A and B are shown apart, each in its own frame.
Chain A
Amino acid sequence: MKTFCIDLNVCTGCHGCQLGCKDEHCGNCWLPYAAEQPDTGQFWMNVRQFERGKRPHVKVTYIPTPCQRCEDAPCMKAAKDGAMYRRDDGMPIIDPEKSKGQRQIVDACPYGAIFWNEELEIPQKCTGCAHLLDGADPMISVPRCFDNCPTGAIQWGEEDELDLEGAELLHPEYGTKSHVWYKGLPKKFVAGIVYDPVEKEIVEGAKCTLVGPSGSFTAMTDDMGDFWLRDLPEDDWTLTIEGLGRTKVIEVSTKTEDVGLGDIALD
């Protein structure tokens, strides 16, 4: 089975993949694989972005999201009259002709990866550039998003040949048995800068311990006074900061968002 493994630690958010998809499918018609994609509004490769944390501990996570190549694909179950089929390489394909009027295919996808073409009245999504894999153009024979990626964040190939160590699925809880793999999927963080309000100096080597129902995590402040507790579960926590013989306790929660505490006076 052909699929992607996308390393978010290497992705710079350049959107080259999203643009490559547009370049291939907008203004170009690749029937019978895919009808033309509308110029705007559809994102068969969708770089979703999430701003996280509070100043100055701010990061943006970019998650390139194509069709997740589900084994147990809700879209295929929703499709009627042979509107969808699965290629030998594992990719579910929407037939641009047979799917006319079948809006339920869009609604079935829990990943939001299928789009409705108002003009043609058809559902549309990533085809994995199946037309290129099948030799529609001698110039290129790989998916455009993979080809455009400048950093190697998007890997593409036979699933059993990809390096999937540490890779995860986007939403295993959806139970669709998806096959697009991700490295570096965001977990929550708690971060801050610890300083001494008397001396007006940062505190290096302060021990920052997070304790909650789902475990305990520890980090030391660095030479800029920063600590980053990363890869945290979503939970309520007690943060204890120890340094200079002083202790500070702060209640924090990562249940809905990352926590940037800014400058913390160790008094």
Chain B
Amino acid sequence: MSDKTIVRGISCGGTGGSLAHVDSENGKIVRIRPLRWNEKYTDEELKTRLWEFESHGLTLRPTMKTTPPYYAFGYKKRVYSKNRVRYPLKRVDWEPGGDPDKINPQNRGKSKFERISWDEAAKIIAGEMRRVSEKYGPTSIFCIGEDGHKESKDIHSGGGWHSNLMDMTVGNFTREVRTPDSVEGWYWGSKHIWGPGLYMGLGMMAPSQNIIKDVSDNTDMIVLQSGDWETTQNYASQYWSTILRFWLKQGKDFIVIDPFCNYTSVCHDEMKWIPILPNTDAALDFAIMYVWLQEGTYDKEYVETHVVGYDKVFDYILGKGHDGIAKTPAWASEKTGIPEWTIKALARKWAKKATSIGHYCGCHIRGPYSHEPARTEVYKLCMQGLGKPGIHQIHLQSWQTAWPKFLGSAVDPQPAILGQRAQQFVPKEQEIPRTMAHHAILNGKAEWWGTPQIIYALADEQFEKHEYPSPEEGYDAQVHMVWSEKPCNQGCWNGGFLFQDAMRDPSLECVITNHQWIENDSLFADLILPVSTCLEEMDDVGCSQGDSVTSCAIQEAASDTVGESMSDYEIAQRVGAEFGEDTVTMLTGGMTVEEWLPYVFKQSAVSKEISFEEFKEKGYYIPEFREDWDQLPSGQADFYNDPENNPLDTPTGKMEWWSEPLAENFPDDKERPPMAEWIEGGSAEDGWTHDESPWGERAKKYPLVMNTCPGRWRVHVQGDDITWLREIETCKVRGADGYLYEPMWLAPEDAEARGIKDGDIVKVVNDRGTILGGARISERVIPGSAYMNKGSRADPIGPHLDRGGCTNLLSPEGPISKHCWGFVVTGYLVDVQKVEDSEWDAWKKEYPEAFERAYDPAVGRTYDSWVVEGE
């Protein structure tokens, strides 16, 4: 029988997540389950907190029961995973002190670890901080991890406690800058059309308020162009299933345009799937616009009054541009694999019906040249009068049906409470973008434009050039020490195999990671520090992104601490103690967590509505919504109705289809020209960054285009060890050797041509390396593409050879295009081949240690796989 119940959001984003109850007994978690909003609040109190509205005779409201992400229901297995790091660990063949003979960098990702005490770990780290900063300067210490381990925490939130510590001790560090991962195309492309957009920098449509009701009332059709809401909503909640069902019940049409018949498309009978070759969305968009232009079925008035430079785009579409090619449906059919008749029918249907485009962020804007499909999407929206009732871009922030009273804007990820003090996001003299970490370490230098951060990043900042080493004297040290509070660069970002190489570079004398689980970048560390999960800490949490309502909660620890783990906040204190009690006091402000909780609560907007005592007693709170929420202009309605008095944040205040700033700053950029074009890329000799299309030279050797979206049974790289998810049919493929491989989905035609049968162990190859997978042959895949979810845990066999099926190891190391150092994590070329017995034999001979590691199919690699026995 449980003796304790807490309320907590368990989400693998900074979103908080739909709140859940966690029941425990004697410090051990018994179960995780939804809560009911009315458990602690009366119907009367909920009237001003749970919105509802009627549309076309049907009523939509939040479910009384919360809708936590499904992996949250399996989180007990994550907390008590056999993969948990229980103690501080040191690589067996690494010694601190910088002696090149005792570093053995070549063995990172190969050698095992041994348990050490916290005392020893803290002394080693403090010693290395002093030694490295004195020898090379403090900016030789590279701190990684603005967004921590991506559990939603507040006081204990990771993502910069190591940086705080550096500032307070050695005086400085090199900051890893979080890049616009997951919103690449919007950030680098559409931002130049409609301004910085969401969060003043993501580049997706803003404002995004009051869209759910307007779509319910006025939208006839929703196009999920690379949007898989049933999967991506699990960043925070499963409430969007209810919204989808509501809209389907209202009779709205849904079209899913995706290389993979995604999890949203397959479970809703009413939805139509249009298979498209990966990274060809811009071609489809141009052809749709071609039909609209030919047939005059677009909003001419909007274009004339709201758009700058449309004539150049129209000329380009109609074949009067520099390439002389009309972007007809027949032309697009060749590129996209979509029949000409379907493109025409889609264009006509789109013009006839009030249509919104839906995605969370959109996988189609993460390939090579992703700024192009992002820009063509905006063109399309404009041509049908974006901001008109029913016409919107529905995205990750649109969920917020009724805006809370206190919430002035949607820019605060945890508006309810904000106690996060980890400071990785504060600009520093020397910085390296996350997408260039491998590049900077291996080459000792890097240069890039823009990317000051993921949000609050304006379009004109992309014209600022940056360098590593820093041009500022005294801050220009080369990196010699890495400390990561987010050790998943190789799984989440571009060029993962090169990141592994970078971790093995002899220039790195000390690599430290803080993480709960022994996985990914931690395998390449010298020291691993055990971190507690969100269910082992006293904390608070605010959920404001993706659930039906904004909410917040405060909680004690549900579980005893696993092993000797500590939060990142506590780790900084433990290491800080080696520098003296004053350092600890600076980190904590002289306050305990019990003292911080009411303090941050009083700083927060929530304190205007409820007392701390009542909040603590009830455990959760839902802020009141604005009484006039349903009167707020929907999306871009104001700009649509009166562009002169509601200008966009662009130089002209209009939609800049042709960007004069791009033309001025990068006049010779053929990869991101001033307006969107169809860009295929080509050889490096011809000045192209990418040759990743099916029409280039490399496609002869690697003919399949990878499609790597977030997985249905993980969130990014998280949760790949949850046993109850791994046994779900579409999560893993059990190979003949008993290993659970990441599914490599192939169309029957492509599998047959390669002699691959369902369940075969296959290798996915390109010139960057090889990863293994388990073949899953399915009608859900368009021929010519290979579908493999990103985020499976790396399981290195040897250099550039991975058994875990971690797709980003294979992704291109370079930028989106010459001036855009975002990542390319999908839409690149590979081939898939059956693994031959002779190859197995060769690998086993060459890398015996990789095949001797402990392995538990239920979990994958475990603590025992990487930690020497007897400890």
Contact A139 B2 (CB under 8 A): yes
Contact B73 A49 (CB under 8 A): no
Q: Which of A16, A138, A152, A263 contacts B70 (CB 8 A)?
A: A16
Contact A151 B779 (CB under 8 A): no
Evaluate whether A225 and B345 lie within 8 angstroms (CB atoms) in the complex, with A40-B723, A55-B747, A56-B273 already known. Answer: yes
Compute how far the CA of A57 lies from the CA of B74 in the bound complex, rounded to whole angstroms: 32
Kindly report which residue of chain B lies nearest to residue A265, judged by CB atoms. B341
Kindly report which residue of chain A lies nearest to residue B729, judged by CB atoms. A49
Interface residues as binary, A148-178 with B (CB distance below 8 Å gives 1, 0 otherwise):
1011100000000000000000000000000
Interface residues as binary, A126-140 with B (CB distance below 8 Å gives 1, 0 otherwise):
000000000011111
Question: Is the CB of B131 closer than 8 A to any CB of chain A?
Answer: no
Chain A residues closer than 8 Å to B352, beta-carbon distance: 223
Contact B782 A55 (CB under 8 A): yes
What's the nearest-Cβ distance from chain B to residue A101, in Å? 26
Chain B residues closer than 8 Å to A69, beta-carbon distance: none
Evaluate whether A137 and B1 lie within 8 angstroms (CB atoms) in the complex, with A19-B74, A223-B345 already known. Answer: yes
Contact A59 B269 (CB under 8 A): yes
Contact B23 A150 (CB under 8 A): no
Instruction: Name which of A22-30, A207-215, A248-256 contacts chain B.
Output: A22-30
Chain B residues closer than 8 Å to A53, beta-carbon distance: 779
Contact B779 A195 (CB under 8 A): no
B residues 804-819 near A (Cβ < 8 Å) are none
Interface residues as binary, A80-112 with B (CB distance below 8 Å gives 1, 0 otherwise):
000000000000000000000000000000000
Compute how far the CA of A144 lies from the CA of B31 in the bound complex, rounded to whole angstroms: 10
Chain A residues closer than 8 Å to B30, beta-carbon distance: 28, 137
Contact B242 A151 (CB under 8 A): yes
B residues 260-287 near A (Cβ < 8 Å) are 261, 263, 265-269, 272-275
Chain B residues closer than 8 Å to A40, beta-carbon distance: 723-724, 726-727, 858
Contact A147 B238 (CB under 8 A): no
Kindly report which residue of chain A lies nearest to residue B261, judged by CB atoms. A58
Compute how far the CA of A23 lies from the CA of B729 in the bound complex, rounded to whole angstroms: 18
Evaluate whether A224 and B272 lie within 8 angstroms (CB atoms) in the complex, with A151-B242, A202-B342 already known. Answer: yes
What's the nearest-Cβ distance from chain B to residue A258, in Å? 10
Compute how far the CA of A26 lies from the CA of B73 in the bound complex, rounded to whole angstroms: 13
Chain B residues closer than 8 Å to A263, beta-carbon distance: 339, 341
Q: Which of A24, A26, A54, A196 contacts B779 (CB 8 A)?
A: A54
Compute how far the CA of A82 lies from the CA of B490 in the bound complex, rounded to whole angstroms: 57
Compute how far the CA of A135 lies from the CA of B34 in the bound complex, rounded to whole angstroms: 18
Chain A residues closer than 8 Å to B230, beta-carbon distance: 12-14
What's the nearest-Cβ distance from chain A to residue B133, in Å? 46
Compute how far the CA of A161 lies from the CA of B870 in the bound complex, rounded to whole angstroms: 59
What's the nearest-Cβ distance from chain B to residue A153, in Å? 9
B residues 768-785 near A (Cβ < 8 Å) are 778-782
Question: Is the CB of A15 closer than 8 A to any CB of chain B?
Answer: yes
Question: Is the CB of B603 closer than 8 A to any CB of chain A?
Answer: no
Q: Which of A27, A58, A140, A150 contacts B241 (CB 8 A)?
A: A150
Chain B residues closer than 8 Å to A58, beta-carbon distance: 261, 265-266, 273, 779-780
Q: Which of A14, A26, A139, A195 contacts B339 (CB 8 A)?
A: A195
Contact A19 B274 (CB under 8 A): no
Compute how far the CA of A39 lies from the CA of B242 in the bound complex, rounded to whole angstroms: 31
Compute how far the CA of A39 lies from the CA of B268 in the bound complex, rounded to whole angstroms: 31
Question: Is the CB of B76 closer than 8 A to any CB of chain A?
Answer: yes
Compute how far the CA of A18 lies from the CA of B731 in the bound complex, rounded to whole angstroms: 14
Q: Which of A12, A41, A139 contacts B267 (CB 8 A)?
A: A12
Compute how far the CA of A202 lies from the CA of B345 in the bound complex, rounded to whole angstroms: 7
Q: Which of A56, A62, A196 contacts B261 (CB 8 A)?
A: A56
B residues 700-739 near A (Cβ < 8 Å) are 723-730
Evaluate whether A23 and B728 lie within 8 angstroms (CB atoms) in the complex, with A40-B723, A56-B261 already known. Answer: no
Evaluate whether A27 and B348 lie within 8 angstroms (CB atoms) in the complex, with A51-B779, A60-B266, A150-B239 already known. Answer: no
Evaluate whether A51 and B778 lie within 8 angstroms (CB atoms) in the complex, with A28-B30, A28-B31 already known. Answer: yes
What's the nearest-Cβ distance from chain A to residue B515, in Å? 23
Q: Which of B31, B74, B272, B341 contacts A200 (CB 8 A)?
A: B341
Chain B residues closer than 8 Å to A15, beta-carbon distance: 70, 725, 728
Q: Which of B70, B242, B245, B275 contacts A14 (CB 8 A)?
A: B70
Chain B residues closer than 8 Å to A224, beta-carbon distance: 255, 272, 342, 345-346, 349
Interface residues as binary, A32-50 with B (CB distance below 8 Å gives 1, 0 otherwise):
0000000111000001010
Kindly report which residue of chain B lies nearest to residue A13, judged by CB atoms. B267
Contact A139 B21 (CB under 8 A): yes
Contact B341 A225 (CB under 8 A): yes
Contact B5 A19 (CB under 8 A): no
Contact B31 A24 (CB under 8 A): yes
Contact A150 B242 (CB under 8 A): yes
Interface residues as binary, B316-357 with A (CB distance below 8 Å gives 1, 0 otherwise):
000000000000011000000001111011101100100000
Question: Is the CB of A205 closer than 8 A to any CB of chain B?
Answer: no
Interface residues as binary, B119-153 with A (CB distance below 8 Å gives 1, 0 otherwise):
00000000000000000000000000000000000
Question: Is the CB of A72 closer than 8 A to any CB of chain B?
Answer: no
Question: Is the CB of A74 closer than 8 A to any CB of chain B?
Answer: no
Question: Is the CB of B67 closer than 8 A to any CB of chain A?
Answer: yes
Contact A10 B245 (CB under 8 A): yes
Evaluate whether A148 and B34 lie within 8 angstroms (CB atoms) in the complex, with A14-B70, A19-B70, A51-B780 already known. Answer: yes
Q: Which of B76, B255, B345 contacts A201 (CB 8 A)?
A: B345
Contact A148 B73 (CB under 8 A): yes
Contact B63 A150 (CB under 8 A): yes
Compute how far the CA of A201 lies from the CA of B333 in the bound complex, rounded to whole angstroms: 13
What's the nearest-Cβ distance from chain A to residue B732, in Å? 11
Question: Is the CB of A216 closer than 8 A to any CB of chain B?
Answer: no
A residues 190-236 near B (Cβ < 8 Å) are 193, 195-196, 200-202, 204, 223-226, 230
Question: Is the CB of A76 closer than 8 A to any CB of chain B?
Answer: no
Chain B residues closer than 8 Å to A55, beta-carbon distance: 261, 275, 747, 779-782
Question: Is the CB of B32 closer than 8 A to any CB of chain A?
Answer: yes
Contact B724 A136 (CB under 8 A): no
Question: Is the CB of B33 closer than 8 A to any CB of chain A?
Answer: yes
Contact B730 A49 (CB under 8 A): yes
Compute how far the CA of A140 lies from the CA of B35 in the bound complex, rounded to whole angstroms: 10
Kindly report which residue of chain A lies nearest to residue B237, judged by CB atoms. A150
Compute how far the CA of A54 lies from the CA of B747 in the bound complex, rounded to whole angstroms: 11
Evaluate whether A23 and B245 lie within 8 angstroms (CB atoms) in the complex, with A56-B261, A58-B266, A139-B21 already known. Answer: no
What's the nearest-Cβ distance from chain A to residue B544, in Å? 19
Question: Is the CB of A11 closer than 8 A to any CB of chain B?
Answer: yes
Compute how far the CA of A243 lies from the CA of B633 in the bound complex, rounded to whole angstroms: 45
Contact A39 B1 (CB under 8 A): no
Q: Which of A136, A144, A150, A226 contacts B67 (CB 8 A)?
A: A150
What's the nearest-Cβ distance from chain A to residue B504, in Å? 35
14 chain-A/chain-B pairs, Cβ below 8 angstroms: A23-B31, A28-B30, A56-B272, A138-B2, A139-B21, A144-B33, A148-B73, A150-B239, A151-B242, A152-B63, A200-B329, A223-B345, A224-B272, A263-B341
- 14 A-B pairs besides A40-B727, A151-B238, A200-B330 with CB distance below 8 A are A9-B269, A14-B238, A22-B74, A28-B30, A53-B779, A56-B275, A136-B1, A150-B67, A200-B341, A223-B348, A223-B349, A223-B352, A230-B269, A263-B341
A residues near B, CB below 8 A? 9-16, 18-20, 22-24, 26-28, 39-41, 47, 49, 51, 53-60, 62, 136-140, 144, 147-148, 150-152, 193, 195-196, 200-202, 204, 223-226, 230, 260, 263
B residues near A, CB below 8 A? 1-2, 5, 21, 23, 30-34, 63, 65, 67, 70, 73-74, 76-77, 80, 230, 238-239, 241-242, 245, 255, 261, 263, 265-269, 272-275, 329-330, 339-342, 344-346, 348-349, 352, 723-730, 747, 778-782, 858
Q: Which 7 A-B pairs have the closest CB atoms?
A: A60-B266, A150-B238, A150-B67, A19-B73, A195-B341, A202-B345, A22-B724
